[in-house]
Amino acid sequence: MLRKASSFPEEMLEHVLSFITSDKDRNAVSLVCKSWYEIERWCRKRIFVGNCYAVRPEMVIRRFPELRSVELKGKPHFADFDLVPDGWGGCVYPWIAALATAYPLLEEIKLKRMVVSDESLEVIAKSFKNFKVLVLSSCEGFSTDGLAAVAANCRNLRGLDLRESEVDDPSGQWLSRFPDSFTSLASLNISCLGAEVSFSALERLVGRCPDLKSLRLNHAVPLDKLANLLRGAPQLVELGTGAYSAELQPDVFSNLAGAFSGCKELRSLSGFWNVFPGYLPAVYPVCSGLTSLNLRDANIQGADLIKLVSQCRSLQRLWVLDYIEDIGLEELAACCKDLTELRVFPSDPYGAEPNVSLTERGLVSVSEGCPKLQSVLYFCRQMTNAALVTIAKNSPRMTCFRLCIIEPRAPDYQTLQPLDLGFGAIVENYKDLRRLSLSGLLTDRVFEYIGTYAKKLEMLSVAFAGDSDMGLHHVLSGCAKLCKLEIRDCPFGDNALLANAAKLETMRSLWMSSCSVSFRACKLLGQKMPRLNVEVIDERGPPDLRPENCPVEKLYIYRTIAGPRFDMPGFVWTMNGDSV
Amino acid sequence: MELQLGLRSLPTYNFIENFDLNNDGFEPKDQMLGSKPWISCEDGNNMDNKRSSEVAFGKNTRYASRELPLLLWSGQPNDEDDWNGEKKISCSINKNGEEENRVEGWPPINSWRRKVLHHDQDQARNVMNSSRMAAAGNYENGDGSNSKYVKVKMEGVAITRKIDLRLYNSYQTLTKSLTSMFAKCQNLGNDAARYSLTYQDKDGDWLVAGDVPWQSFMESVQRLKIVRNAG
């Protein structure tokens, strides 16, 4: 390797680089010069691939020979809402097979929205002797057989996190496959599992792992067994309960309350399926120390809910159902001054009438009372421009703002105007805004505001908004840092897309469904932009059987150096190259 | 607060059939969209701008001779707006046929949660209820459903609530819970005595709750109403 007289010794640069862990910084280092590129690539330990189809595994392996941690994402975000048909893709097996050969010392695999087969899990279990952490977030395609293979073979496993994944459950016995000599577990999240796990195996496992800090159970773990588990792991920092319901019996209650009191390190609580309110006071001893409370699945209402939340004065993160109502959010604003993240989910999203009294006023209260608020996800049924303007002025630290007004195209309910001004204030005031989701009645004007002010915006979600291509054009031409754009049911068509074709290569991906982009424009884009994969998803059949100006159902465009993918199902057509 | 912005127009794309093959460059006729209409990314770290512009300008000779420039500026305001202000409403029946006119994938709730949790909660209630009923010696053969949600309306309160009656095992626990649920909005305090709990049974009749054994009540109740006592 050519070395200039004035350059650092390699070893020194490597040592300095070992302190640089952020992907962005690492990428910047690698662009300085060829020798830095070389040194950097040999000592990079972690890689994050935001779109598994953007690069082939061989390319990653060729560039980074010493990885210890690989993180991949598969399906587009809108797959969470059933907008991506089954069988679309995102199978991880080719990656696992390649990683198994290339990195025998691999320690971590983190996957999101990918299809993971039992076979993949078996390969992971048997290929990496020092495997430590497996995270499967919103994944599917595997069963507890695959998990059994991991349990049986990964002697040094520290973390197994199945958050939100769909797991087939032929047997609940997989937990027993952890050998008795296995004691390294620090984190276990099985909250998504549908069926019972062997409780005795669970209890023994928890009891023999002294480093266990995070334990999230599934609903099938009954409340009367929780106390025993807690006594076996008083060092827990994060706990997800199982079902929180039982006949109210004084000895069960006091046992539980005593067990909770013993968990002095507990900072995060979740779970709470099927809450029987009489048992809530058992957690009161830990409330004052909690920084994170996730009641997203808890059917607690009214005074019980407010009482619980108001005791958690150190709360930084709260996820809750709209049972909390405006009145509960006022209380929250008064009690929890350190709040940085709030998510309010709908308890009855498909009901025609509101079932709770949760309005824009709740969010206004929180913005007024909690100056550190950074991240909001709020489902509600009414909003005003005035409220949004107030919220915009109150929370300068906001980085993620997602508002979902349940009725599509709902206007300001007081003035009947579009919510353009309100969201305009949001983007103008939130200088560090990185993520935004819009809803309600919106014209092209809101996109003009976004293009003008949202200079740090990385992800934008749009539904039922805009009047014309100008809306899309404002966003694509104005938002310098835009990385992911997902759009549904908007009147955006060919013009804006083609005028901003080059922009698409600077983004990770663009999703458009139920819009007005014609097949002809898709073909053109695919032909002209070889480093974009332009994929048409259309379950009506081949798009070339319809007139060229017919809009496609769904369009997914992403930048890639891997070329068109090979694993497309019958309803996905690539617009690249000769196949069109 | 007033944001002063003017909406600018976007030139229309012309899918023209004949064009000048020698015209592999393009002249932006209209500067309205900024100085770099082609490369709209202002991020200086992006090294791809140059290459992508080359591709877009048609210098890539891999393609067939008949190249269309990606965008031809007509220099005219966008008078071919496909939409003309029409709003397309995408309405489709949910795959499960659950509800008519429900928009697919909206509101954006995680579908995993809808599918799995709903099923799990039923199972959980199964587990919990059967053990609870068995313990109480009142094992109910059940009518197949594992939760019993009924609407609860209180006189004078706009919002109708819903509760799962399977969570309760007596009138006492039910009324206690209802009191706390509605107390906040009515400032009831100790005024629970001024209200009565009534219910609509399977025949559609409204009866006062408490007259029949809890189990019979559970089997026939369809909805609840809290009414003010007369006098």
**Distance from the B203 Cα atom to the nearest Cα atom in chain A, whole angstroms:** 25
Position B180: which residue type? S
Count of CB pairs separated by less than 8 Å, A with B: 230
Longest dimension (CA), chain B: 94
Q: Which of A81, A329, A421 has the most B C-beta neighbours within 10 Å, making it the best mutation to test the interface with B?
A: A81
| Euclidean distance between CA atoms B146 and B75, whole angstroms | 66
- Cβ–Cβ contact B126 with A under 8 A: no
C-alpha A484 chain-centroid distance = 13
- Cβ–Cβ contact A449 with B under 8 A: yes
* E-strand stretches of A425-543: 435-437, 459-463, 484-488, 509-513, 532-537
How many helical (H) and strand (E) elements, i.e. helices and strands, does chain A have? Answer: 21, 23
Closest chain B residue by Cα to residue A463: B106
**Distance from the A124 Cα atom to the nearest Cα atom in chain B, whole angstroms:** 25
What's the average pLDDT block by block, 10 residues per block, for chain B (231 residues)? 50 44 34 33 38 37 36 38 35 40 87 58 48 38 56 82 80 82 59 78 88 87 86 49
- Cβ–Cβ contact A544 with B under 8 A: no
Residues 6+ apart with CB under 8 A from A141: A91, A115, A116, A117
**Distance from the B13 Cα atom to the nearest Cα atom in chain A, whole angstroms:** 5
Burial letters B32-69, b for 16+ CB under 10 A, else e: ebeeebbbbbbeeeeebbeebeebbbbeeeeeeeebbb
pLDDT tens for A201-242 read: 999 999 999 999 999 999 889 999 999 999 999 999 999 999
| Euclidean distance between CA atoms A382 and A361, whole angstroms | 10
Q: What pLDDT, on a 0 to 100 scale, did the predictor assign at position B51?
A: 41
Whether residues A247 and B132 touch (CB distance < 8 A) is answered with yes
Question: Taking CB atoms and an 8 Å cutoff, what residues of chain A touch B112?
Answer: 80, 138, 164-166, 192
**Distance from the B124 Cα atom to the nearest Cα atom in chain A, whole angstroms:** 6
Say whether the ipTM exceeds 0.95.
no
Residue numbers of chain A with a pLDDT score lower than 50? 579-580
Map tokens 């579908």 to a residue.
B111
Q: What pLDDT, on a 0 to 100 scale, did the predictor assign at position B211?
A: 85
